[in-house]
Chains A and B, each alone.
Chain A
Amino acid sequence: MTTDKCTNVTEKCADTKENCDNMVDISISKDVLVIGAGSFGLEAAGKIAAQGYSVSVIGVKTACARQSGCTSKMLETGKVNIMQDVAIDSLAGVTGDFRATLIKNAGNGAEYSEKVEKVFGAIVVAPQYSYSTLNKKYGLTLNDKVVSQSQFEAMIADPESQKKILNGVNGNGSTVAFLTGFAQEGDPTSTSRVLTSALAVQNMENCNAYIYAGNVKVGAKGLERLFTQGRHAGVVCFKPSQMPTIEQNLNDGVNTVKITIKDPVVRTDVELTPDYVVVEEAVVVGQQNLDIASTLRIDTDLYGFLPSNNVHRFPAKSNRDGIFVVNNSLDAANAALKLKELIGNGIKRVAANKAKVDEDRCVICLTCYRSCPHGAIFWQNGAAAISPAACQGCGICASECPMDAIQLGDFTDDSLRTSIKDAVVSAKDNQKDGQPLIVAFCCKNSALEACEAATKFGHEMPQGFRMVKVPCAGKVDVEFIMKAFVEGADGVMVAACHEGNCKAERGNIYAKWRVNEIQKRLEKMGLEKNRLIFTTIASNMAKEFAGKVNAFAAAIK
């Protein structure tokens, strides 16, 4: 009953397969830029270089990466050029042909700095985050007895300080308290560090470890076992519902901390005056990473961590094809895989029917450049141009362009107009008396799938319902919605991906915003605004989709 059957289309044609007319070959630079010389950056660099690509790494090596054994292991084989003190200044170009301006002696306050432009086929960002100690949130001042988790790890690694802990104040061991999960939610990595340190303390003669934890984050391999091991060794773990009461006394040469919690079972105060207090640390994004994200035009999550919180970016992807984000070892391997798929032997065969700009119409207003979520637009011959390697065919630019200068190869405005007309005609043929005629614009990534499944599984929907397939809800503009009404639809539905699940990041936001605008217009025209609705749905929710259509039909009957 749908106007467009498209369940079995493989979107992508592998190089070797036939039947892929309308393809173009694009040359892709085999040089790769890795931003971040931490261990994961170097691991990714090594894996990529091994594939025969030439890799430049910029950024400062971390402590671990400075150990040559460690670095050589990560770099494996191949050409890797590590450039310390080099940063990225700006980025132009598109996937396969990124033009990066690199700046030497960056940020050192050095008088001499040099800019060079280099071409890269792809970019890997391996963000280097730093730690900040959360002592202030506990009302604590750091000193030789109140230390950060990192400091404490250094202490137990150093024989001298270790001896001091072992001896304690009067030669009979120390009591160490760990504070974690009250100043921040924490994560398995921080928990792992606390548990490991606590167990090390407990294993020292006459020493005792106490952990004050919010939630113990054991959600990673081996941690529950480590936690149990610690408890069996004698580590005491308190989990009060609130941050413990902490009093630090630094008067008159005294240096003590008293930690008090209320025991929920015996309902009394439990006090501890430990010899050492170890305070949790937070991972900090840092301005540097925010700058990198904005230079590369890639989205971050709410906190500024790269990439954005969107399942379509998983793993190792960003909103821009050809820019990868590596946050761990799994990402490094995945980035190398995807990068090889992209670069191959330097020639990439891509579908030619993506978005195209009519140069004669373009007035260089920059709208498309700003609205393209995938950074696929660049400038050529005094007009906007779109890279078929980077374009994902969402159609947002086409809808936003004030000059109507952009057309999608596989979803031209004309073909959409025809689809709308066909949908209405076929709905009229099947419509039962008294039932409304409904046209739903369905995003091919979500609503279309849900709609087709609903049809296939026989979930009941009104006879007068038809859907029109769109590449992204962001392609649905005012004209198409009005066209559906003009053709005779009683109700129009724009069905997009849930917020935060849009492949084009903001296509659903554009659609929602446009629907709101048109609703206002309809009202001014004296029409019922509830004849037009915006809704979101996931591709796997067939029954829910049918429910939404039926509810809409009932509402406008």
Chain B
Amino acid sequence: MNNQTKKVLILGGGIAGLTAAWELSRQNISVELVEKSCFLGGHAIGFTCKATDKCQQCGACSVEDMLKNVVNEPLINVHLRTEIKELKKSSQFNITLTKSDIELPDSQIKNLPSGKAAKGFSKYNNPLYVTESDKDKMGSSCEITADAVIVATGYSPFDPNRKSTYGYGKWKNVITGLDLENIIRENGSLVRPSDGQKPQKVAFIQCVGSRDERLGNLWCSEVCCPYAMRMAGTVKHDNPNAEITMFYIDIQNSGKEFPVFYEKIKQNIRFVRTIPVDIYPLENNGLELRHMAEEEGSPSSESFDLVVLSVGIMPGKDSSKLSAITGIPVNQDGFLDNEITCCSCSSSAKSTQTSQPITSSQSASSIAGLFVAGTAKGPAGIASSMADAGKTAFEAMKYLGVMK
């Protein structure tokens, strides 16, 4: 069979979309990669390296690798600043694309070296991903037919303004985990937003927006413990005098060799099992953080130079819109969900288990030929998103008859 005739439309150019596109192109399937914003790589392309004396396996550099693969692959056609308007299924999928109303950050398009596209580099490394000439070409409306569709539209980070007592946006030195990623990436080390100096006392507040029954967010975001601990390690490595405190409920694992990593981190960072109540400004842009002290069981407060809110993974802002367009249902948490759990044969599964959260399951969609990959369907880190995208590509190719 000539696979060249098969075409898959992928919505979303984050790490899941990139990986799925790349895997499909490996089997000679052509891909239309549609990205709403003006650059590829999603959130993860702005993440920083978290190596200390060695690599901490955060996966940020893998996103860069994958991006480079994709932009150099002729079988993958990229549509930036484009979104889906309509999807109809006949024998194939007929998709109407339209220019997304996302603002083009002109400041970042200026100063581009003339001629060549600087695609392939991140949003935060200015100048970057699009040339003057691309600017006009970007985001035209068109109709596309495809044999299968993969939705890899990703997540939205928790909006810290919903936790108003933390004063995000009000106090300069209250930042989110994503802000922290970008600051280290841009500067090569951590500096305070207020004065550009290296902070001495840093607090991390875990589970901001996740594991929160009052908000109805009954899930662990899985990534924030790993990223917070890894970045805490980087900050401490860069500035051994920094005092870092992590306020937490439970610490989640970061992957392979976690016990060794955790033991080492525990020697460098103070862990306090409580979630702070609120944050007040002090002089010189310092911050006072109030919490229930674990040992005394009474209110206590402490001052910090910088507070990092470890915001979690929430359903993508347009997941309900996408659900309406594509017909993929959203689950009780608001993530796109087309999974039918099949026979659970994971080694841990026991016949006594009534519900099996970690099982092998098969992506099978309510509409044949429509698949969801990556964080669009729930929390996942870079590595798991890539694995999931690979598996989704596999399922899509099975549907196309390219894989059996």
Contact A498 to B49, CB < 8 A, known contacts A341-B26, A543-B186 = yes
B residues within 8 A CB of A222? 355, 357-358
B residues within 8 A CB of A387? none
Contact A457 to B354, CB < 8 A, known contacts A43-B360, A539-B61 = no
B residues within 8 A CB of A193? 348, 350, 353
Q: Does A366 contact B (CB under 8 A)?
A: no
Q: B96 to nearest A CB, angstroms?
A: 30
Which residue from A39, A315, A500 sits with its C-beta under 8 Å from B360? Answer: A39
Interface 1/0 per residue, A315-331 and B, CB below 8 Å: 11000000000001111
B residues within 8 A CB of A497? 55
Q: A347 to nearest B CB, angstroms?
A: 15
Distance of A533 Cα from B52 Cα, bound (Å): 18
Q: B111 to nearest A CB, angstroms?
A: 8
Interface 1/0 per residue, B114-145 and A, CB below 8 Å: 00001011100111100000000000000000
B residues within 8 A CB of A383? none
Q: A332 to nearest B CB, angstroms?
A: 8
Which residue from A10, A200, A311, A330 sits with its C-beta under 8 Å from B55? Answer: A311
Interface 1/0 per residue, A445-489 and B, CB below 8 Å: 010010001001110000000000000000000000000000000
B259 touches A543 (CB 8 A): no
A residues within 8 A CB of B355? 196, 222, 226
Contact A337 to B51, CB < 8 A, known contacts A200-B352, A222-B357 = no
Interface centre among A311, A312, A497 (most CB of B within 10 A): A311
B residues within 8 A CB of A541? 48-49, 185, 188
Interface 1/0 per residue, A327-362 and B, CB below 8 Å: 011111110110011000000000000000000000
Name 11 extra pairs, CB < 8 A, besides A199-B354, A329-B361. Answer: A51-B404, A73-B342, A154-B350, A192-B356, A221-B378, A224-B219, A310-B57, A311-B58, A446-B61, A458-B111, A499-B53
Q: Give the contact-size bracket for chain B.
A: 35 or more
A residues within 8 A CB of B23? 337
Which residue from A40, A70, A264, A337 sits with its C-beta under 8 Å from B297? Answer: A264
Which residues in window 253-296 of B have CB below 8 A to A? Answer: 253, 255-260, 262, 273, 294-295
A residues within 8 A CB of B69? 10
Q: B39 to nearest A CB, angstroms?
A: 14
16 A–B contacts, CB within 8 A, in A order? A51-B404, A78-B404, A150-B350, A190-B348, A219-B253, A228-B218, A311-B58, A314-B383, A330-B387, A337-B403, A457-B125, A500-B55, A501-B61, A538-B51, A538-B60, A543-B125
Q: Does B346 contact A (CB under 8 A)?
A: yes
Q: A321 to nearest B CB, angstroms?
A: 14
B360 touches A192 (CB 8 A): no
Q: Does B386 contact A (CB under 8 A)?
A: yes
A302 touches B260 (CB 8 A): yes
Q: B214 to nearest A CB, angstroms?
A: 12
A residues within 8 A CB of B189? 544
Distance of A53 Cα from B55 Cα, bound (Å): 37
B residues within 8 A CB of A501? 51, 54-55, 57, 61
B220 touches A219 (CB 8 A): yes
Q: Does B347 contact A (CB under 8 A)?
A: yes
Q: A283 to nearest B CB, angstroms?
A: 9
B49 touches A331 (CB 8 A): no
Q: Which of B86-94, B97-105, B164-172, B391-399 contacts A (4 or more CB under 8 A)?
A: B391-399
Contact A223 to B220, CB < 8 A, known contacts A153-B350, A333-B391 = yes
A188 touches B390 (CB 8 A): no
B294 closest partner in A (C-beta): A264
Which residue from B28, B65, B383 sits with its C-beta under 8 Å from A14? Answer: B28
Contact A340 to B60, CB < 8 A, known contacts A187-B253, A541-B48 = no
Which residue from A70, A190, A215 sits with its C-beta under 8 Å from B343? Answer: A70
Which residues in window 348-401 of A have CB below 8 A to B? Answer: none
A344 closest partner in B (C-beta): B27
Nearest first, the 5 closest Cβ-Cβ pairs linking A and B are A222-B357, A329-B360, A219-B252, A501-B55, A538-B49
Distance of A481 Cα from B122 Cα, bound (Å): 33
Distance of A193 Cα from B346 Cα, bound (Å): 12
A185 touches B351 (CB 8 A): no
A225 touches B64 (CB 8 A): no
Which residues in window 368-392 of B have CB below 8 A to A? Answer: 378-379, 383-384, 386-388, 390-391
Distance of A190 Cα from B121 Cα, bound (Å): 40
Which residues of B come within 8 Å of A, CB atoms?
Answer: 4, 23, 25-28, 47-49, 51, 53-55, 57-65, 68-69, 72-75, 111, 113, 118, 120-122, 125-128, 185-189, 210-211, 213, 218-220, 222, 225, 250-253, 255-260, 262, 273, 294-295, 297, 342-343, 345-361, 378-379, 383-384, 386-388, 390-391, 393-395, 397, 403-404
Distance of A150 Cα from B51 Cα, bound (Å): 38
Q: Does A168 contact B (CB under 8 A)?
A: no
Q: Does A527 contact B (CB under 8 A)?
A: no
A residues within 8 A CB of B68? 7, 449
A residues within 8 A CB of B257? 301-303, 309
B residues within 8 A CB of A539? 61, 64-65
Q: Does A285 contact B (CB under 8 A)?
A: no
Q: Does A220 contact B (CB under 8 A)?
A: yes
A309 touches B343 (CB 8 A): no
Contact A218 to B211, CB < 8 A, known contacts A10-B73, A336-B403 = yes
Which residue from A184, A316, A540 sits with its C-beta under 8 Å from B64? Answer: A540
B51 touches A536 (CB 8 A): yes
A64 touches B387 (CB 8 A): no
Q: B372 to nearest A CB, angstroms?
A: 13
A225 touches B218 (CB 8 A): yes
Distance of A197 Cα from B23 Cα, bound (Å): 39
B residues within 8 A CB of A316? 387, 390
